[in-house]
């Protein structure tokens, strides 16, 4: 089921319909049309698990499909940014470009963003639009820093006699594009099953903090980066998504809570603490929160 409650800035929870009808506070935290747009984005009316849902942990998807949960509308604004970017592109796909088409197979469904002559004169190019952080783009590009000797030494202080170094960027690191790669490759597979050839794949990543100092400190100097995505085995994709779809289906049929999300899926516990909308209904997320609170005290 979709989210049923909004979380107010003061931490109170209120039913979404009630919030849209009348605000409990002295004044609204944002414009009413913005809140309506957030509420509308939370329910897409799709019953089968989508590609993006299956990339998430099975427990997270199960809880979001079967339990009532709350959403902070402030935290959902980035999703609206993404939808706006998609709409802008969809209105400029004249010619031999397909956009925002949902395809389905026996396992799942997915809506690709752009397909066709989207980057040059070559046909059959699949593209996906992302609005994301400079940190995510830095990791996707394999950018990292190394200490390089300057040839000088410290003449005073605790480091006296030790060589001085400066930070330099390197661009040959591991590209962390796992989620993007398996998502785009499954869209490719859906397109190919429908009879469309996919020759190349790209992510167009729009950096939402590109004008901030932190972005420059991460080696991100442009607002947009085009990132190539390599092909992944169809057999592997079929097995990976098929297994997760079966686990989700069985959990819903038996009304049985699946195992906790993996370390990769919950970002080493960070998602359990702040970013998973279903965390209020997840015993594991609550245990993680209690553990960290105990350490802090």
- pLDDT of 296: 61
pLDDT at 50 over 90: yes
Percent of the chain exceeding pLDDT 90 equals 75
- The 10s digit of each residue's pLDDT in 199-228 is 999 999 999 999 999 999 999 999 999 999
Separation of alpha carbons 168 and 123, rounded Å? 39
Cα torsion 65, 67, 70, 75 to 10°: value is: -30
Q: Which two tokens stand for residue 254?
A: 């038996």
Instruction: Give 50's DSSP letter.
Output: B
CA gap 60, 281 in Å, rounded:
9
Asked if 281 and 289 count as a contact pair (C-beta separation under 8 A), the reply is: no
Query: CA 121, CA 113: separation in Å to the nearest integer?
Result: 18
**Dihedral, CA atoms, 194, 129, 262, 109, nearest 10 degrees?**
-30
pLDDT band at 44 (very low <50, low <70, confident <90, very high): confident
Q: Is 211 helix (H, G, I), strand (E, B) or coil?
A: coil
In Å, what is the CA distance from 245 to each residue of 4, 62, 232, 252? Answer: 24, 11, 19, 11
Query: Is the pLDDT confidence value at 92 over 90?
Result: no
Q: Strands 163-170 and 144-153: what pairing?
A: antiparallel
**Mean pLDDT on 95-100:** 88
pLDDT digits (tens, 9 = 90+) for 235-292: 999 999 999 999 999 999 999 999 999 999 998 888 898 889 899 999 999 888 788 7
Sort 262 into a burial class: Cβ within 10 Å, 0-12 / 13-18 / 19+.
Answer: exposed
CA–CA gap between residue 74 and residue 278 (Å, rounded):
16
Closest CA to 126 of 177, 189, 42: 189
- CB-based contacts of 30: which residues, under 8 Å, 6+ apart? 73, 74
Are the C-beta atoms of 224 and 207 separated by less than 8 Å? yes
Alpha carbons within 13 angstroms on the beta-carbon side of residue 279 total 18
pLDDT tens digit string along 233-244? 999 999 999 999
Residue 297: predicted pLDDT: 58
Residue 82 pLDDT greater than 80, yes or no: yes
Alpha helices in 8-76 (DSSP H): 16-21, 32-41, 51-55, 58-66
Average pLDDT score over residue span 72-78: 88
Identify any residues that bridge with 224 across adjacent strands, giving them in sequence order.
206
- Which secondary-structure segment (H or E) carries 80? helix 77-90
pLDDT range class, residue 94, cuts 50, 70, 90: confident
207 strand-pairing partners: 132
Measure the CA angle with vertex 46, ends 40 and 51; round to 5°: 110
Cβ contacts of 239 within 8 Å, gap of 6 or more: none
Contacts of 55 (CB under 8 A, 6+ apart): 179, 182, 183
pLDDT of residue 155: 92
> What is the per-residue pLDDT across 146-186, written as a single tens digit (0 to 9) for each?
999 999 999 999 989 899 999 999 999 999 999 999 999 99
User: In residues, how long is the chain?
Assistant: 297
């Amino acid at each position: 089921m979709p989210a049923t409650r909004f979380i107010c800035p003061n931490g109170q929870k209120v039913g979404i319909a009630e919030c849209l009808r009348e605000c409990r506070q002295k004044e609204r935290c944002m414009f009413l049309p913005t809140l309506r747009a957030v509420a509308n984005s939370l329910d897409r009316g799709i019953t089968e698990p989508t590609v993006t849902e299956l990339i998430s942990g099975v427990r997270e998807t199960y809880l979001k499909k079967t339990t009532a949960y709350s959403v902070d509308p402030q935290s959902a604004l980035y999703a609206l940014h993404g939808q706006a970017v998609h709409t802008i592109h969809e209105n400029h796909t004249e010619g031999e470009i397909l956009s925002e088409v949902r395809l389905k197979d026996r396992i799942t469904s997915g809506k690709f963003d752009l397909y066709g002559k989207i980057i040059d004169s070559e046909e059959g190019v699949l593209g996906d639009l992302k609005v994301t952080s400079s940190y995510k783009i830095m990791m996707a590009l394999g950018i990292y820093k190394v200490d390089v000797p300057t040839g000088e030494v410290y003449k005073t202080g605790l480091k006296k006699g030790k060589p001085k170094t400066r930070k330099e960027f390197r661009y040959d690191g591991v590209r962390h594009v796992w989620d993007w790669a398996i998502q785009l490759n499954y869209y490719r597979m859906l397109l190919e099953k429908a009879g469309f050839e996919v020759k190349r794949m790209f992510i167009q990543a729009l950096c939402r903090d590109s004008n901030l100092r932190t972005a420059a400190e991460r080696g991100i100097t442009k607002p947009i980066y085009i990132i190539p995505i390599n092909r992944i085995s169809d057999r592997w994709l079929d097995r990976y998504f098929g297994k997760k779809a079966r686990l989700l289906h069985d959990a819903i049929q038996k009304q049985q809570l699946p195992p906790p999300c993996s370390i990769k899926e919950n970002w080493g516990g960070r998602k359990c603490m702040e970013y998973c909308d279903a965390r209020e209904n997840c015993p594991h997320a609550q245990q993680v929160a209690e553990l960290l609170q105990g350490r802090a005290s």
